[in-house]
Amino acid sequence: MRIIVLRTSAMGDVALVAPVLNALKAQHPEVETILVTRKSFNPFFRQDKSLIIFNPDFQGRHKGLAGIYRLYKDLVAIGQVDHVIDIHNVLRSGILGFLFRMKGIPVSVMDKGRVEKRALVRGKSKKPLKHTVERYREVFASCGLEIIPGEEKQIFISSVAGEIASKVIGDHDVKNIGIAPFAKHNLKMWPSDNMVELTRLISRDFNVRFFLFGGRDEAEKIALITSKIPGAVNLCGKLNLDEELAVISKLDMMIAMDSSNMHMSALCGTKTVSIWGGTDPLAGFSAWRQPDEYSIRVPVTDLTCRPCTVFGKGRCKRGDFACMKWLSPGIVYHKIRELNIL
């Protein structure tokens, strides 16, 4: 059996495909898989050498409506396809699915739970929704591929990247802590000064070294935060994704927002403490296989407007950003001590 799996963005959502494809390979080795995703996300899938990765060119050959048709033709040209699994469920993947159906190839599409998520942010329900990995798994099950994601770490680290990471970490008798202070949207970001103060509180009681992570567009802000943390190492823009994942896998702990770095850390098997504001793990995007208590947030019973967003878009409806400002550095530090992570 040969299947095509569609998931091209966003980084955190693509990373969460790894547990499903790893389980698929282990439990259904007879299935040949073609994953359609962006080239920059290839490092998430090094573990399965038999996986065929097709990287579309959305800026060139596969741009626009005509590009989608060319993408369809390019995928058909690979050879036999028995089933298409759309775990993206956006307009582009929908058009691709339509073209495959016209050819007589069955297509299974992920239910994103949009109605449930709207009810959650509107305060009509505070019931935990399915995790994204579970939604992915259900799509595979719908076409007869029952899988159970494993407990082990999900991202393979190459020996070359591992050697580079060892040099970055160094041989110091300290606890190595990653800090990923930013996210794509403001409603998911803790004030930077709070993060600096949190590192001061940790350094006061533990022998630690901090490593700062962020996207290239966050370079200036990351540099400013790094300058305020004695001995901190700024890795923003210094490593490729393979190397960054290797460093994360060697950390004792990662502290992150609800962001791709949170997902990457969890999938590397690193203890991951996440800080939540406008979003909430209830929506199904928590750090994979991390204890719920590692997700630090103001309880929805104390601040009923939470969550006010699923992905972090929008503005604070209260106007005071209470969901983040109520989480003082002292409260977060006390929680970390309580969890006995360090």
**Phi, psi (degrees; rounded to nearest 5) at 117:** -70, -35
DSSP 87: S
Cβ neighbours of residue 213 closer than 8 Å, sequence gap 6 or more: 178, 179, 180, 222, 235, 236, 244, 248, 256, 261
Say what the pLDDT of residue 152 is. Answer: 87
**Domains of the chain with bracketed CATH:** 2-142 (3.40.50.2000), 159-339 (3.40.50.2000)
In this structure, how many other beta carbons lie within 10 angstroms of the beta carbon of residue 216? 8
Residue type, 126: K
Say what the pLDDT of residue 217 is. Answer: 93
Cα angle 68-69-74, degrees, rounded to a multiple of 5 = 95
Torsion (CA) 155, 158, 161, 165 in degrees, nearest 10? 60
Residue in this structure with the two tokens 């994979």, named with its chain if needed:
288
Say what the pLDDT of residue 339 is. Answer: 95
- Which tokens is 204 given? 């006061």
User: To which H or E segment does residue 86 belong?
Assistant: strand 83-86
**Average pLDDT per consecutive 10 residues, the chain (342 residues; last block may be shorter):** 96 97 96 98 93 97 98 97 98 98 98 96 94 98 95 92 96 95 97 98 97 96 97 97 98 98 98 98 97 97 96 94 97 96 88
Contact 30, 112 (CB under 8 A): no
**Phi, psi (degrees; rounded to nearest 5) at 202:** -65, -45
Helix (H, G, I), strand (E, B) or coil at 212: strand
The pTM is what? 0.96
Say what the pLDDT of residue 62 is. Answer: 98
What is the spatial distance between Cα 309 and Cα 315, in angstroms, rounded to a whole number? 9
Say what the pLDDT of residue 47 is. Answer: 87
